Amino acid sequence: MSKGKLNKNGYKAIIVQYVWLLVSGLVFSLTAGTINVPNAWLFYTCSLIVTIIHTFFYIAYPERANERGMYKEGTKPIDKIYLGAYFIITVIIFPLIAGFEVGRYKNLLINRYVSYGAVVFYFLACYINIWSMKVNRFFEGTIRIQEDREQHVVMEGPYKYIRHPGYLAMIIGSLMTPLIFGSLFGLFWALIAVIILILRTAYEDKVLHEELTGYKKYSQSVKFRLFYGIW
């Protein structure tokens, strides 16, 4: 555990998680026209558990929450576009599509055992994300070089294997979401979200190469950005 206390930014980082979850659930229920959708209950139960896990993590490591809840100068302007597009897709567009598909029209085209298997990987994504935040105190929500915090290269935990494990966690979670819902059309939007994350990873990696001391040497040791053995 870390010393320190949550400040208003930390509480903001915690509360925002629940707000996004609530918005997603409302969009789904409105387009589905019902709350009696077993796959939706499965997904939102898993999402609530993951959110609670992150909340306990932030309580144990308050400085992580305090930093993530604060928008700071130096954030790359294009990152607002990446983040905006990603959250619009995952919080608005996807539950809207899934609401019509598996709720209103009941087109459940994905086998339920696939949905159950996706739950396992959904929690794996949560584990990778928590692990990454625990070992990397520079794990902020936006792309910037943290000169104010004397940022340096982190080579512990998952960073020994890939350079951007946080993005890998987001990709896994994004892909598992439509599978848990049972939404085949949702997979298309999940792939769009993944493409956005890959582009964001490539951009952040470029920024770190150019602006963070020691990152070039680190990238020679840990060669893969996201997918071990591939890229």
* Domain ranges, ordered by start, for the chain: 8-221
Please give the Cα distance from 50 to 78 (Å, whole number): 28
Half-sphere exposure of 217 (CA within 13 A, CB side): 7
What's the rounded mean pLDDT across residues 54-74? 92
Per DSSP, 91 falls in state I
Please give the Cα distance from 104 to 28 (Å, whole number): 10
pLDDT surpassing 70 at residue 3? no
| Residues written for the chain | 231
Please give the Cα distance from 89 to 134 (Å, whole number): 27
CATH tag, 8-221: 1.20.120.1630
Please give the Cα distance from 61 to 53 (Å, whole number): 12
pLDDT surpassing 70 at residue 189? yes
Backbone torsions φ then ψ of 4, nearest 5 degrees:
105, 175
State pLDDT tens for residues 130-142: 999 999 999 999 9
pLDDT surpassing 70 at residue 1? no
- What does pLDDT average to over the chain? 95
